Amino acid sequence: MRFGLKFNPFEWASHDHKMANRKTEWKKITDVLSSAYNGETCRFVLALGDYGMGKSFMLNQIFRAATESRGVLAIKDVLTERPIPTRSLLRSSPEFDIPSRIVANLGEVKLLDLWNRAKSRKLDHIRFRTVFEQLGAGNESAFRFLIGEKLKHDELEPLGMRTSLRPPDDSIRSLFETLKIARLAGYHSVLVLVDEFEAIMSKLGPTAAVRVLDALRAIFDEYGPLKDQAAKIVFVFGLSAQAWDKVGDLERTMVSRTGGGGISPFVERILPSDKIVLNPFSLQNMIELVESRLTEARVGSASDKLHPFTREAIEFAYSVSKEKPRVILQLCYMLLERASEKEDVSQVSREFAEETLREYNIAPPAAEEDVADNR
C-alpha cells in the first residue's frame, strides 16, 4: 500500500476499528443500558437505522463495552447457527426457538464456567441442578438438553429427566435456569444482542414470527417473579426502520383479526426512550470517519489527516454515498485501491474520484458543461 499506509483501512465488513462519530447515539445507548443494568425489569432496546447505517458495528461496540462491564454477561449472534455455516443466518424452520438460541450462543464452555463458579452456592432453587452437575462432570448430553436437542431415553436418565425440552415453555424454563446460574456466578445482567432482527420475519413468515415475539414477551414477564433469583435479561435488537414499520403493520393486522395476539404485548413492553435511531452521516461525520481510519493505518504522522484524499474528493464521495457509513467506507476503499495501483497518482483528488466512481456507475455522468470546462 502506498501513501505511507500499512494497509487499506476502509474495510466495511470489519468491526475491529475504533468508533468514529455516533457520539450522540452512543451516549443515548450507554444511558439506556446503564438504566437497564441497574433496573428491576427486563428491557427491550431497539437500534434503528437504514441498511448501511452501522447497526452491526454499533452492536459490536455495545458487545465490547459489555464484556468490560462488571456483572454483565454479553451474548451475540443469536440468529446464527452454531457452528456458523457460510452465510447461513437463520433456519427457515418454524421451530426456530429464541430461548434455546440464547443458551446455545452462550456456549458450553462459558456455561461450564458459570456452573463452576456457582456450584458452591446454595442451589435449592435450581430445578435443573442434576443437569448442571452432569454438565460439570463432562456429560455432553447435558448441554444438548439445555439447548433443546432431542435426546434418547438413555441420555435423559443421567440428567434426571424423562423427556427432552419442548419449545417454547420448556426452553424458556431452561433459559431461566441458566439465568439463575449466571446470578449465582456473579452476573446481575445478561445482555443479548440480536442483529438483523428483521430476519425473523423474512425467514420465518408472519405466523412463526408472532410465536417468536410472544416467546420474547413471555421472557420479559416471567423475569418478574424470579428477579431475586435470576440475572435480568436485556435485549438489544438491531433492525432497519422499514422492518420496524413492518412489525407495526403486522401488529395492526393482528389487532384487527385477533385483538393483538403476540405482537401488541411485545411492542407495548418497549419504552419509547429505548428506541435509538442511527441517523445519516453528515459531511463532517464522514471526514472524521476517514481521518480515524487513515490514522489506524498510517506509518508515522501526516500534516494533513486526510492525505492522500483531498477534502474536495471526500466531498464528492459524500455526495454519492447516500449518507451511509458503509457506502462511505466502500467508496474510500475503492478509491484508495485504484490510486495505489497508479504510480503517477500522488493523491486522491476530486477529479480522480469523479473519474473512478463514474467508471463504476456510482456517480452520474458528467454534465456537458463540466466536460467542456475540463477541456
Q: CA-to-CA distance for 212 and 210, rounded, in angstroms?
A: 5
What does the chain come to in residues? 375
Q: CA-to-CA distance for 265 and 256, rounded, in angstroms?
A: 15
Q: Residues 292, 295, 296, 297: is their CA dihedral positive or negative?
A: positive
Say if 223 falls within a structural domain: yes
Provide the pLDDT for residue 196: 83
Tell me whether the omega of the peptide bond preceding residue 325 falls within 30 degrees of 0, making it cis: no
Say if 366 falls within a structural domain: yes
| Pair (66, 190) in one structural domain | yes
Q: Is 212 exposed, middle or buried (0-12, 13-18, 19+ CB in 10 A)?
A: buried
Q: Is the pLDDT of residue 82 over 50?
A: no
CATH of residue 218's domain is 3.40.50.300
pLDDT tens sequence across 159-201: 999 999 998 899 999 999 999 999 999 999 999 999 988 877 7
Mean pLDDT of 100-105: 94
Q: Distance between terminal CA atoms of the chain?
A: 32
**Between these two residues, 34 and 250, which has the higher pLDDT value?**
34
Last residue of a domain, one of 242, 277, 312: 277
Last residue of a domain, one of 229, 253, 277: 277
Domain count, the chain: 2
**Which backbone phi and psi does 48 adopt, to 5 degrees?**
-100, 135
The domain containing residue 30 runs over which residues? 23-277
Last residue of a domain, one of 255, 277, 299: 277
- β-partners of residue 45 are 236
Q: CA-to-CA distance for 147 and 96, rounded, in angstroms?
A: 12
| Pair (238, 316) in one structural domain | no
Say if 9 falls within a structural domain: no
| Pair (62, 181) in one structural domain | yes
Q: CA-to-CA distance for 295 and 9, rounded, in angstroms?
A: 9
| Pair (99, 57) in one structural domain | yes
pTM score, whole prediction = 0.87
Say if 1 falls within a structural domain: no
- If you search the block for the grid coordinates 412463526, which residue do you land on? 208
pLDDT tens sequence across 83-98: 333 334 444 344 568 9
* Angle in degrees, CA 15, 18, 24, rounded to 5: 105
Q: CA-to-CA distance for 358 and 131, rounded, in angstroms?
A: 62
Q: CA-to-CA distance for 326 and 323, rounded, in angstroms?
A: 9
